[in-house]
Amino acid sequence: MYVCLCQGVTDGQLREAIYEGCCSYREVREATGVASQCGKCACVAKQVVRETLGEL
Ligand code: FES
């Protein structure tokens, strides 16, 4: 599903960024561009990152 409509970033892409080495929300944001425009997706994006990091 799309987490960020402005940048067209999906939850899968956020997870992928973590599997490829990102280890914080900041790094995921820099790698994917998520939440870099209107910022409305930040809350959900953070949640996905937190859940994914918790699973690793
Ligand atoms: Fe992600 Fe706007 S929906 S920055």
Per-residue confidence in pLDDT tens, the chain, 56 aa: 999 999 999 999 999 999 999 999 999 999 999 999 999 999 999 999 999 999 87
Probe target for ligand 1 pocket from 9, 13, 41, with the most ligand atoms within 8 Å of CB: 41
Task: Determine the pLDDT at residue 31.
Answer: 98
Contact assessment for residue 11 and residue 5, using Cβ atoms and an 8 Å cutoff = no
**43 Cβ below 6 A of ligand 1:** no
Domain boundaries, the chain: 2-55
Tell whether domain 2-55 is in CATH 1.10.10.1100.
yes
Q: Which atom of ligand 1 is nearest to the CA of 9?
A: 1
Q: How far is Cα 43 from Cα 56, in angstroms, rounded to an integer?
A: 20
